[in-house]
Chains A and B, each alone.
Chain A
Amino acid sequence: EPEVTQTPSHQVTQMGQEVILRCVPISNHLYFYWYRQILGQKVEFLVSFYNNEISEKSEIFDDQFSVERPDGSNFTLKIRSTKLEDSAMYFCASRTDRGLSYEQYFGPGTRLTVT
């Protein structure tokens, strides 16, 4: 069964550094998402991406964040200058829009630790 993959599984970085989190969505999917989950808290929407541009973004997704689909398979989330409060689990998700198939398939997540 096809699945969403994410790399790395765990990333440790120093405050102020740039990080890129990578995701490979399911190949025939059209919509892509990033969510984050601070430890012990609920999952929060960051951004959605469709047709090579951002569709929606939350208040969390400020100028420090950017997304890109550089090569038609990867979907990346970049944090330009990480802060301690960016420490969280970051989930990528994707979905197709064929008929009623609105399920979002989640990747296993990348644990980001900012020190």
Chain B
Amino acid sequence: AQTVTQSQPEMSVQEAETVTLSCTYDTSESDYYLFWYKQPPSRQMILVIRQEAYKQQNATENRFSVNFQKAAKSFSLKISDSQLGDAAMYFCAYRISYGGSQGNLIFGKGTKLSVKP
């Protein structure tokens, strides 16, 4: 069974600094998707970034980028120039991509990120 592990329950970063959130996963599949979701205090889940496993290039979205190491089954999220609005719970999620699956997401336990002014 696939599992997603986030080993950092809480992280803190100074405003304008860079922070990296860790995620590892376990799967026997070769084709899948990985996601980072942000959950602010309002509790709505917002997609931050997505990575297709078949792509070697790391995904980037403005200040957010990932370090995807497929062999190591590692998928970390880097937030550059941290802003107060980045404070939230961040969930790493995995999704298998073959056609027979309906694509339910498997989530990690989350990392609570605090941003200090």
Contacts and interface: CB of A to CB of B under 8 A. Distances in A.
A54 B107 CA distance: 21
B103 A43 contact: no
Interface string A72-90: 0000000000000000010
A106 to B, nearest CB: 4
B91 interface: yes
A43 B50 contact: no
Contacts of B106: 45
A71 B103 CA distance: 24
B105 to A, nearest CB: 6
Interface string B77-103: 000000000000001010101000111
A100 B101 CA distance: 15
A42 interface: yes
A102 B33 contact: yes
B43 A108 contact: yes
Nearest to B99: A97
B45 A31 contact: no
Nearest to B95: A102
Given A35-B105, A43-B105, A107-B44, 19 more contacts: A31-B102, A33-B102, A33-B104, A37-B43, A43-B45, A45-B104, A45-B105, A48-B102, A55-B102, A56-B104, A58-B104, A91-B45, A102-B95, A102-B103, A103-B47, A104-B103, A108-B42, A108-B44, A111-B43
30 contacts: A31-B103, A33-B102, A33-B104, A33-B105, A42-B107, A42-B108, A43-B45, A45-B104, A45-B105, A45-B106, A48-B103, A48-B104, A55-B102, A56-B104, A58-B104, A95-B103, A100-B52, A102-B33, A102-B95, A102-B97, A102-B103, A103-B50, A105-B47, A106-B44, A106-B45, A106-B46, A108-B43, A109-B43, A109-B45, A111-B43
